[in-house]
Structure 1
Amino acid sequence: MSPTEKTDNNIHEPEATESPRLRPFVAPCRQLTPTAPLRWLKQGWQDFKQAPLLSMVYGSLFMLASWVIALWSWQVGSFTMLIVLFSAFVFLGPALAMGLYSVSCQLDRGMKPRIGFCLKQGRKRLGNQLVFAFALLVIFLVWARAAAIVNIFLPMARSPDFSELLTFLIIGSVVGFLFTLIVYAASVFSLPMIMDRDVDAITAVLSSINAVLKNKAAMLLWALIILGSVLVGFLTLFLGFIVTLPVIGYASWRGYRETIIGDEWQQDPETAA
């Protein structure tokens, strides 16, 4: 046996081991055209027409919740309470829309949307939903405290004149805008991602914020569309919510599917399109 052969026999090369692939901390996103939300809105309307009864059930629940908030605020005679309660409704809106995301998800699979399927999907992601809901609760409590401070420095009479009302609304709107901006960026894509992928709440929130920052023009248009749908609801004594809010929920799902690239995270076999 030659020395070369001896060397070859005595040397044991370590077996190649494939290191586990690390997932990115933030899901990448696609670059959107500024008018992309108009396409989402059209697709959301198509989803509404495919499941009109279930959509109107969800919309009616939003409408009834709005009536309860308005009636209770009227009885306690607090304009500030009305603003705070409606802000809570806006903050909780993304979580309440989980069922709407499930409807669009079922339509993607060619299924007839069912409430039971929505509840089943919701239970699978309950842990991450609770983490997200807790984060929203903390933000809302801080916002409510900020609103109370504004009311302390700018007390409102029971029947305020126009000047008092205008000052209160301007300052309150600026404070509310900052909190709303945080919630909007954190939630616009995170809850659809939690519904669709096996992803933790923190990664979903950071992925949503990243997508908003990289698509400012499109996301500004989407925010204005959401605001417009809420205004339509107010102008129709909340009757418009029966249609506008389900369409917005479906469109949010379409926006998520177009924007977020979540291939690194496993998709629920029951939600895979």
Structure 2
Amino acid sequence: MTSKTSESTPPDKLAPRPSFIPKVNKMTASDITASLKAGFSDFLARPVMSSFFGLFYAVFGILFVWCLVWLGKIWMIIPAIIGFPLVAPFAAAGLYEMSRRLQKGESFGWSDILGVMANQRKREMGWMAFVTLFIFWVWIYQIRLLLAIILKNASFADFDGFLSTVFFTPQGWTFLAVGTCTGAILSAALFSVTVIAMPMLLDRETNFVSAMLTSIRVVTENPVIMLSWAAIISVTMLLSLVPAFLGLIFTLPILGHTTWHLYQRALPPVDKSPVEPSS
């Protein structure tokens, strides 16, 4: 069945309110717990459709790694696998829309969700995709730079040789330490600007700059809660990559649905949300 409630569907083109951001709520650990329960409930409500997005993401990851092997870019495999979750927030747009409709009690089908996702190219979500992919590119580039500086452009005949160099030589340990610190900074920056911005752009009339500022404000005003959520995402995603990316079939949709509900708890309702000029 598809929904006949057209007024709740995000329009193709919105007139964003420039330079205004909403107030943010004070959050507690119970918000994460309640959001996880709601996210899991959304997954169980539509397990096949939810898993489709996780499967698509997993297959893309497998093909991405296979292409690196085929191109002989052995050194890129580990940073690509570690950095791959950075683009997950954008990949979860369909999951946000599913949770939005489930929350409103609407019926929907594949065409409804895929149609909303396709229409995001006409909205501000495209700019957020650019920000996400840019930070991912910076991550890959800085790994290449560290490889040249620390490992002196060492030649790796195969993946085992790369692992041996990285994990069993002093230069490799330095490479891992510096790369991990740099990656943590980039991941924290991307998390801060996207965790609330992605679902907010789907749900509200705003521009991507205001959405990013709102997301940063939520993180800075609720640092412990949001960093805890970031840790949950990081550990879950990395563990999901171990079985050949297949764990993402289940974990990505649950995390995506949960993020929607966490966003709902982070900001007051749209019609009651006081706004103030952003500086």
Q: Same fold (TM over 0.5)?
A: yes
By how many angstroms is 1:173 displaced?
1.0
| Counterpart in the other structure of 2:22 | 27
98 and 157 in structure 1: CA distance in 2 versus 1, 3 angstrom threshold? same
| Counterpart in the other structure of 2:150 | 154
Contact 1:51-1:113 within 8 A present in 2 as well: no
In structure 2, distance between residues paired with 1:265 and 1:93: 30
By how many angstroms is 1:258 displaced?
0.7
Equivalenced residue count is 245
- Matching residue within 172, 179, 184 for 1:177: 184
Contact 1:28-1:261 within 8 A present in 2 as well: yes
In structure 2, distance between residues paired with 1:188 and 1:221: 13
Which structure has the greater CA radius of gyration? 1
When structure 1 is superposed on structure 2, of 125-134 and 73-82 the one drifting more is 73-82
Is 1:206 aligned to residue 222 of structure 2? Answer: no
143 and 178 in structure 1: CA distance in 2 versus 1, 3 angstrom threshold? same
When structure 1 is superposed on structure 2, of 174-183 and 227-236 the one drifting more is 227-236
Is 1:141 aligned to residue 148 of structure 2? Answer: no
- Matching residue within 209, 225, 243 for 1:218: 225
| Counterpart in the other structure of 1:3 | none
| Counterpart in the other structure of 1:188 | 195
| Counterpart in the other structure of 2:127 | 131
Contact 1:69-1:82 within 8 A present in 2 as well: no
Gaps (5+ residues) in structure 2?
1-16, 274-279
Q: How does 1:111-126 map to 2 (within 5 A)?
A: 111-126=106-121
Gaps (5+ residues) in structure 1?
1-21, 267-273
- TM-score (structure 2 length as normaliser): 0.80
In structure 2, distance between residues paired with 1:125 and 1:76: 32
Q: Percent identity?
A: 26
Is 1:37 aligned to residue 20 of structure 2? Answer: no
- TM-score (structure 1 length as normaliser): 0.81
- Matching residue within 49, 53, 59 for 1:58: 53
RMSD: 2.3
Is 1:70 aligned to residue 65 of structure 2? Answer: yes
60 and 141 in structure 1: CA distance in 2 versus 1, 3 angstrom threshold? closer
| Counterpart in the other structure of 1:93 | 88
Contact 1:91-1:136 within 8 A present in 2 as well: yes
By how many angstroms is 1:75 displaced?
3.3
By how many angstroms is 1:234 displaced?
2.2
In structure 2, distance between residues paired with 1:92 and 1:130: 13
Deviation string, structure 1 residues 225-249 (Cα, Å, up to 9, x no partner): 1112112212322221110000000
Contact 2:76-2:140 within 8 A present in 1 as well: no
